[in-house]
Structure 1
Amino acid sequence: MKILFVAPRFHTNQVQIIKILLEKKHEVFFHVACIGATEDHSLVKPICYKQSWLSRLIEKKFDKGQSNKRFYFPDISAYWKAMKQLRPQIVVIRDPYKLFSQLAAFFALLIKARIIFYTQEDLLRSRSRKALLKQKLTINFFRAAWITPIKSSNSREEKGWHRYIYHVPLPVNICPEDACRKDIPNEGPKILMIGKYHQERKKHMLFLQALDNLKNRYLFSATIAGECANEEQLTRFMKIKAAAQDFELDDRVELKQNVPFNQMSTLYASHNIFVLPAVNEPYSISVNEAMGYGLPVICTDTCGTKINIYNGDNGFVIKSDSLEELTTSLESLLSNYRKLNQMRIKTLQYAREYLSGDAFYLKFARVTRERFSIIIN
Structure 2
Amino acid sequence: MRILTSAGHHVAIDVVETGATENYTLVSPNVVAPSALSRRVMHMGPSDIPNSPFSFPGLVSYWRHLRVENPDVVIVRGVTRWFCRVAALCAILQGRKLVIYDQENVRPQAWSGTWIRRAVFRQLGIAHFTSRLPSNPGSVGAGGAMPLPFGNPFEPIRIRALRGRPLHSPPRILMVAKYRERKGHSLLLRALAVISASTPFSITLCGEEATHSDAAFCEALRQEAQALGLADRLRFQNNIAHDRMISIYASHDLLILPSRTEPAAVSPVEAAWAGCAVLMSRDSGTRHYLPPGSGFDFDPDDPQDIARAVAGLIARPEDLRLARDACFMRISSVADDDMILRLFETFGTGTGRTRASMS
Deviations 1:334-355 (A, max 9, x none): 2111111122222212222212
Contact 1:276/1:298 (CA < 8 Å) preserved in 2?
Answer: yes
- What is the match of residue 253 of structure 1? 234
Please identify, of 354-363 and 224-233, the stretch whose mean Cα deviation from structure 2 is larger.
354-363
Moved more, 173-182 or 302-311: 173-182
Match of 1:15 in 2: none
Q: Residues of 2 paired with 1:311 and 1:351: CA distance?
A: 12
Distance apart, 1:69 and its partner CA? 0.8
Q: How far did 1:62 drift?
A: 4.3
Once the two structures are superposed, the pairs formed by residues 1-377 of structure 1 within 5 Å of their partners are 18-62=1-45, 64-128=47-111, 131-141=114-124, 143-155=125-137, 157-158=138-139, 160-162=141-143, 165-172=145-152, 173=154, 176-186=159-169, 188-197=170-179, 199-311=180-292, 315-365=295-345, 367-368=346-347, 375=350
| C-alpha distance in structure 1 between counterparts of 2:74 and 2:46, whole Å | 27
Describe the superposition over 1:94-114 as per-residue Cα deviations: whole angstroms up to 9, x where unpaired. 121322111111211233221
Answer yes or no: is the 8 Å Cα contact 1:147–1:166 preserved in 2: yes
Do the aligned residues in 1 keep the contact of 2:271 with 2:278 (CA within 8 Å)?
yes
Structure 2 counterpart of 1:92, one-letter code: I
Query: Partner residue of 1:9?
Result: none
CA contact (8 A) 2:162 2:275 kept: no
In the superposition, the TM-score normalised over structure 1's length comes to 0.86
* Percent identity of paired positions between Structure 1 and Structure 2: 26
Q: Tell me, what secondary structure is at the counterpart of 1:338?
A: helix
Task: Give me the whole-angstrom Cα distance separating, in 2, the residues matched to 1:300 and 1:159.
Answer: 24
Q: Deviations over 1:265-312 (max 9, x none)?
A: 001111111111111111101111111122221111221111123356
* 1:111 partner letter: Q
Does the 8 Å contact 2:43/2:51 carry over to 1? no
SS of equivalent residue, structure 1 residue 108: helix
1:228-279 superposed Cα distances (whole Å, 9 cap, x missing partner): 1112211111101111222232221111211110110001111111111111
Segments of 5+ residues of structure 2 without an aligned counterpart are 353-359
Structure 2 distance, partners of 1:183, 1:32, is: 40
C-alpha distance in 2, partners of 1:225/1:208? 14
**Quick check: 1:192–1:274 contact (8 Å CA) kept in 2?**
yes
Q: Which moved more, 1:31-40 or 1:259-268?
A: 31-40
Q: Deviations over 1:295-334 (max 9, x none)?
A: 2211112211111233569x51111211111111111122
Aligned to 1:7: none
Paired residues, number: 349
The CA distance in 2 between the partners of 1:203 and 1:35, in whole Å, is 25
Q: Distance in 1 between matches of 2:54 and 2:184?
A: 29
Q: Conserved in 1, the CA contact under 8 Å of 2:35 and 2:57?
A: yes
Contact 2:313 2:323 survives alignment (8 Å): no
State which drifts further: 172-181 or 77-86: 172-181
RMSD across aligned positions (CA): 2.2
Alpha-carbon distance, 1:92 to partner:
0.5
Q: Secondary structure at the match of 1:304?
A: coil
Q: Output one character per residue of 1:89-143: Cα deviation in whole Å (capped at 9) or x when no partner.
A: 11110121322111111211233221100110111121316653332323444x4
Contact 1:87 1:111 survives alignment (8 Å): no
Residues 296 and 343 of structure 1 are in contact (CA less than 8 Å); yes or no, is this contact kept in structure 2? yes
Larger relative contact order (Cα-Cα within 8 Å, sequence gap ≥ 6): 2
For residues 223 and 55 of structure 1, what CA distance do their matches in structure 2 show?
39
SS at match of 1:222: strand
Q: Which runs of 5+ in 1 are unaligned?
A: 1-17
Equivalents in 1 of 2:123, 2:16: separation in Å? 26
Does the CA contact (< 8 Å) of 2:42 and 2:50 recur in 1?
no
